[in-house]
Amino acid sequence: MMNAKISRENPLIHKVVMVDGQPGCGKTMLSSIIASFEKVELITYIFELEFICRLYSFNKITKDATLAMIKMLIDNKIYQTMMGRDTNFRYNDISSIFNYRDPKKYFKRIFDVGDEAIPNKITKEKPILNVTSHDLLINVDVLFKALGKKLVFIEIVRHPLYMLIQQTLNMENLTNNPRDIEIYFMKKKVEYPYFVHGWEKKFRNFNSIEKAIYAIFIHTKKNDVKRKKILKKYHRNFISIPFEDFVLYPTNYIKKINKLIGTNFSKDTHGILSNHRVPRKKIADSIPLDIYKRCGWKPPKKNLTEKEELNLRRSFAVKNKVSKEMLELLDKLSRDYEKKYFKKIKIN
């Protein structure tokens, strides 16, 4: 077998911004807004990148191969995007060109020069790849190791009660479904999704909503530890944003994101913000997209306070026969989140 170090030392990418977080945290909303900035491409997903990072965390792929593959996948995505390939033309998708501020740009690329012209085009135009990722904060070290200052990593955090319904639906409808093309592992002849590693017995015994609560707990715990380390080392290329604070008071966050990425607003940014109802008077006042509805979103109740909206979502757990232990854990997660992130938000 050939023994050689895998490498890629001549990258194409100018800049990549990754918006990451747990399911239901609001990643696609922020990615859509970022797509309105100058030089930023439409939302894209690179699931192969996530697979490789997770395999690396399981020690199933070497570090040199992981770093090289991250660079290759990022370069391949920007190359294909600039060529007019691998672009989403499905009309209703969030990542569709028809939800981008200038769809004509992607139609033009289909007929434009390509191949050998693309590297010079990237150097001249300096496009910013706009990636929405899932649960990658825990692997962010290897991403920064591969991409360095070319990477801007944005973490979105959100109140656990606002993520609970979507994550419960994921446990019911997606986990162990052939449609869930994700890393699974085998233990004692039982297959588990990657995020269950270390709490397999609990996963087997929990109902769907208890699985969701414990998954939120595990991710939050690990991410809190990782965030402190990353802020010390990569603070110039990393920001953590509370969803609630952003949708109510977006101005300073948007300015900081622009500075981190090295771009600016476009003439369309204000309209895109308005489309997403940002800033909004109430946290739950989202837009009624079909994808959000499928993930459990419902319009806010009139005249309810923020606290009453939270209690409404807590009642979802109570109605679904969550155990006393898991309900107490959910309440603790909620209290901790509110204490940390609700300093400017009145919930009563």
**Omega before residue 279 within 30° of 0, cis:** yes
Angle at which helix 208-234 crosses helix 324-341, to 10 degrees, equals 30
Rounded to the nearest angstrom, the gap between the alpha carbon of residue 88 and the centroid of all alpha carbons in its chain is 18
Q: What is the mean pLDDT of each run of 10 residues along the chain (348 residues)?
A: 85 96 95 96 96 97 97 97 92 91 94 92 96 96 96 98 94 91 96 97 96 97 95 93 96 95 92 93 74 58 84 91 95 96 81
Whether the CB-CB separation of 137 and 195 falls below 8 Å is answered with: no
Distance CA 301, CA 292 (A): 17
Phi and psi, residue 6, nearest 5° = -80, 135
Write down the number of H helices and E strands in the chain.
15, 7
Q: Please give the pLDDT value at position 178.
A: 92
Write down the pTM of the prediction: 0.94
Distance CA 169, CA 316 (A): 12
Whether the CB-CB separation of 82 and 121 falls below 8 Å is answered with: yes
Q: Please give the pLDDT value at position 302.
A: 75
Q: Please give the pLDDT value at position 290.
A: 58
Distance CA 271, CA 267 (A): 8
Q: Please give the pLDDT value at position 175.
A: 87
